[in-house]
Amino acid sequence: MSALAVSGVSKRFGSLQVLRDINLSLEKGQMLALIGRSGSGKSTLLRCMNGLERIDAGHITIGGHALSYAPAALRRLRQDVGIVFQAYNLFPHLTVGRNIMLAPRLVLRWPSARAEARAREVLATVGLSEKFDAYPNQLSGGQQQRVAIARSLAMAPQVMLFDEVTSALDPELTGEVLITMENLARSGMTMVLVTHEMSFARSIAHIVAFMHDGRIHEIAPAKDLFARPRTEELRRFLSSTL
């Protein structure tokens, strides 16, 4: 069953065309890595999948939802499609546990005990069981990013989107976040990530799409795309990043 289908999607900001006739699909349980230079359209495409940016043409179906901009439809979609950004966006005045419990309590109307149990469950998933009562400023950047991942997992999403979640972290902290994402992928979570971590994309992603000038320039299974780039643009990009 397809977890993501993007058909003929285009997007512009004023006179700037940022996405041009994007077509791709992803099966349930697969990971798609979007790679490419800054300005190639990767993050815009990811944000379109969650309805954070409005597309100008085409269709997106994700996590069982056909993208619609009606407020109720967007709320339903975002319950099933989690997104994690480079910025952690944790509430500094709330403990880790309360940060994670917030959406299940407000959106799903769960009682406190059920939301707390879920928060403790997802904290264990990201290896931070002991941080339930800590505040964000008591955590490292890598730990805060793992809490942000746990917060999205608390809603039991069908699909997880990751937008350059390690780009603000030093190498050691990057490693701990990538391990968390690798474990999620191995558990069968459907994932789309924008990343500059080429070794991670090559070893973990099922499908890799190279974006260039707002288009999907090449798309293939990871082992094929990295081993046999078909275009000079991808060869140059890989030579500058690997």
Q: What is the pTM of this model?
A: 0.93
Q: Is the pLDDT of residue 1 over 70?
A: no
Taking the CA of residue 155 as centre, how many other CA atoms within 13 Å lie in the half-sphere pointing to its CB? Answer: 26
Take residue 1 and report the two structure tokens written for it: 């069953």
User: What is the model's pLDDT at position 242?
Assistant: 63
CATH assignment of the domain containing 179? 3.40.50.300
Give the type of residue at 233: E
CA gap 222, 175 in Å, rounded: 20
Angle between helices 96-106 and 141-153 (to 10 degrees): 20
Tokens 């994690």 correspond to what residue?
A: 84
Expressed as residue numbers, the domain containing 237 is 2-89+158-241
Q: Is 10 within the bounds of a domain?
A: yes
pLDDT tens, position by position, 132-180: 999 999 999 999 999 999 999 999 999 999 999 888 788 888 888 999 9
Give the pairing of strands 190-194 and 31-35: parallel
Q: For 66-104, b where at least 16 C-beta lie within 10 A, e where not — what string?
A: ebeeeeeebeebbbebbbbbbebebeeeebbbbbbbbbb
Mean pLDDT value across the chain = 94
Q: Is 228 within the bounds of a domain?
A: yes
> What's the total number of domains in the chain?
1
Q: Is 179 exposed, middle or buried (0-12, 13-18, 19+ CB in 10 A)?
A: middle
DSSP annotation of 24 reads E
pLDDT tens, position by position, 90-107: 999 999 999 999 999 999
Q: Is 115 within the bounds of a domain?
A: no
Q: Is 150 within the bounds of a domain?
A: no
